[in-house]
Structure 1
Amino acid sequence: MPIETITKNGRKRYRWTFNRIIKGERVRQTKLLPAGISSAEADGLARRWEAEIYAIANGERRATVTIGDCVRKHVADKKDRWKDAVKRIRILQKWSAEYADQDALDLHDWSIRFVGYMRAAKDHRGLPKRPLTDASIRNTLAYLRAAIKYAHKVGMLSEDQTARMAMPSVSNERHHYPQRREMLLIARACKHREVRAGIRIAFYSGMRKSEILRAMVTKKGFVLTDTKNGKPRIVPIHPRIAVLARRTRFTVNANVFGNHFEGARVAAGLPTTHFHDLRHAAASEMINAGVDLFTVGGVLGHLSIVSTKRYSHLVTEKLTTAIEKIGGR
């Protein structure tokens, strides 16, 4: 069982190589063993892998499709269609040692261990590492889940066992709804003309930052041909920003925009207000003015009413008023 010691990224690692003829056919496999394991552990893994190869060759067991196999297939077939390809591939490569040899049909216990390791403050060698938030962990697992589902779709896997993966629950909902005064304080503190305009437009339209930067201004309103839900939409222009919308042509990129907004919110004494909160503020203003949730969802570009229901608690007072009218004359 040839185990050799190599150096990868300045660290000592073990590599296993299998190269033999079984039933008249040459079988070659090479695997990089997980970092931090001992020589004895490396030998144990090598013996197990060799036994698996002979068992598969003799028909005693099925060939194992690993999560690593699924990821390689998914990346090869789909990477050109991913908007986040660079980020996704970087994350998949970062954690490859943790999933590369894991059976893609045995996910439950492995996912629990993997989540625990990503949350841990130390790596396998006992060295400090940065623990991931549950949101980041869920994002990583979502990439792996997509790869496994794709492998099942193309026939690599006989079953889809991704429902057994332990996915941390994450609540990203914020319930901060800035008032007009808060929006104006930030806008006045902003020194960048385009960003200052974007702050006001967000409050009076409910558009996302990316939508504001690319929207076309027409007589009908802000025209968005490419939206998050994949459907084009038109957002009417509020009278208070009509002149501003016609005169402003956005040339600033998203990063510069974000930096100026962060500086403005700090200068205004509102460091915890997010730009996306202005979108929530627009929804809040419409609901408080008596606009129904379905219409609010249409303005915001929600594909499903489920997305708009996050604002349902804002209509509590109106529900109380409605109940009081029961039985009235």
Structure 2
Amino acid sequence: MPIETITKAGRRRYRWTFERVIEGSRVRKAKLLPAGLSAKQADELGRKWDAETYALHTGVTKAVVTIGDCVLVHVTDKGADWKDGRKRALILEKWGPEYATQDATDLHAWSIRFVGYMRASLDHLGRPKRPLSDAAIRNVLAYIRAAIKYAFKIGHIEVDQTARMVIPTVNNERHHYPQRKEMLEIARACLSRDREVRAAIRIAFYSGMRRGEILRAKPTRYGFSLDDTKNGRPRIIPIHPRVAVLARRMRFTLTVKQFEEGWKRARTAAGYPDTKFHDLRHGAASEMINAGIDLFTVGGVLGHKSVVSTKRYSHLVTDRLAAAVGKIGQKRGNPV
């Protein structure tokens, strides 16, 4: 059998070995299998590598499918449907030299090297480069992983080894929930030329919409209408009475860059330099929960596709949960 069991760093691992005389020449190869494989999986992978090695040395070479091949077919087939298509294409193009020739079924060691290079402050020639944060690295690898999974789905590769990729974990959840006072102070700090920013600040707090949603929402008699949202579903957000006039009169014409500049000026002038515009969305959720609205309904207002997204606010209902538990065993009107 080509598979043998070894111990590496105190853990049991499988190693594939190949030693055979092929057309008068002795061929020797060895490779450590990805961690976590069962004996059956290791044996199957070993047989596969046996066949590929034999084919390679008898002239019947089986072409290696590279990550570059997977990315190309993914972009070609699905790129037109991506909302972030241009951004994704630029990122994949930038890092192409690092993955273009890499075997798409041998990802573990490569992903470790790739992450290390993206974190490094020097390039391969020793020149200074900007290291990426773990969040940015995770995004790059997510694009590559999606391409490999798609290639496996359509039969372009035989094995999906993306589970072997080493991807940094990131916890970038913010827990800043601006209250009405903070929102109003930032809005009032807007310059006269930033009236659209001032309006968007108030709308964000009273609707929970994202910046991009506010800029493209269409006010109707039923509420703010969004044909296209982050979760891919259209939705209607009721218009709060306090922004009803703004909804009818305001038409947003600012570019994203102009909007960001106006927002940063206002938050700094108001004394909240670290508050992000997206925090206003969290503030809206906090206001609803504090008013007794259940998480399911809050998620519906915010446009969450999954309850997992809304769970980030679950700690805000702790007091109400304690009050609910306190009612256990009580008779109506007669506390026990």
Aligned equivalent of 1:210: 212
Q: Verify the 8 A CA contact 1:206 1:280 in the aligned structure 2.
A: yes
2:230 counterpart (224, 228, 231): 228
**Cα deviation 1:148-198 (Å, max 9, x = unaligned):** 112112222011111111111112211000010000010001121111011
The residue number in structure 1 matching 2:271 is 269
Point out the more displaced range, 103-112 or 92-101. Answer: 92-101
| Corresponding position of 1:141 | 141
In structure 2, what residue type is equivalent to 1:80?
Answer: A
RMSD (Å), alpha carbons:
1.9
Letter in 1 for 2:126: G
Q: Partner of 2:157 in structure 1?
A: 157
Mapped pair 1:300 → 2:302: yes
Note the 1:45-194 alignment, pairs <5 A: 56=56, 58-59=58-59, 62-191=62-191, 192-194=194-196
- What's the counterpart of residue 252 of structure 1? 254
Instruction: Write the distance in 2 (CA, Å) between the matches of 1:73 and 1:138.
Output: 21
Q: Which residue of 2 aligns with 1:290?
A: 292
Counterpart amino acid of residue 200 in structure 2: G
Cα distance, 1:78 vs. partner? 2.7
Q: Which residue of 1 aligns with 2:40?
A: none
Whether the 8 Å CA contact 1:56–1:63 is kept in 2: the answer is: no
Cα distance in 1 for residues equivalent to 2:99 and 2:221 = 54
Structure 2: which 5+ residue stretches go unaligned? 1-51, 332-336
> What secondary structure sits across from 2:157 in the alignment?
coil
How many angstroms apart in 1 are the aligned matches of 2:322 and 2:196? 42
Q: How big is the shift at 1:205?
A: 0.7
Structure 1 range deviating more: 280-289 or 149-158: 149-158
- The 5 Å alignment of 1:31-42 reads none
**1:243: how far off?**
1.7
Task: State the alpha-carbon separation in 2 of the partners of residues 69 and 208 from structure 1.
Answer: 36
Cα distance, 1:93 vs. partner? 2.0
The DSSP-based 3-state class of the residue aligned with 1:56 is helix
Contiguous gaps of at least 5 residues in structure 1: 1-51
Matches of 1:53 and 1:267, distance apart in 2: 67
After TM superposition, the score normalised by the length of structure 1 is 0.80
The letter for the 2-side match of 1:194 is E
The letter of the residue matching 1:87 is: K
Secondary structure at the counterpart of residue 187 of structure 2: helix
Alignment of 1:197 with 2:203, yes or no, is no
Native 8 Å contact 1:205 1:237 kept in 2 = yes
The question of whether the paired residues in 2 share the 8 Å contact of 1:225 and 1:231 is answered with: yes
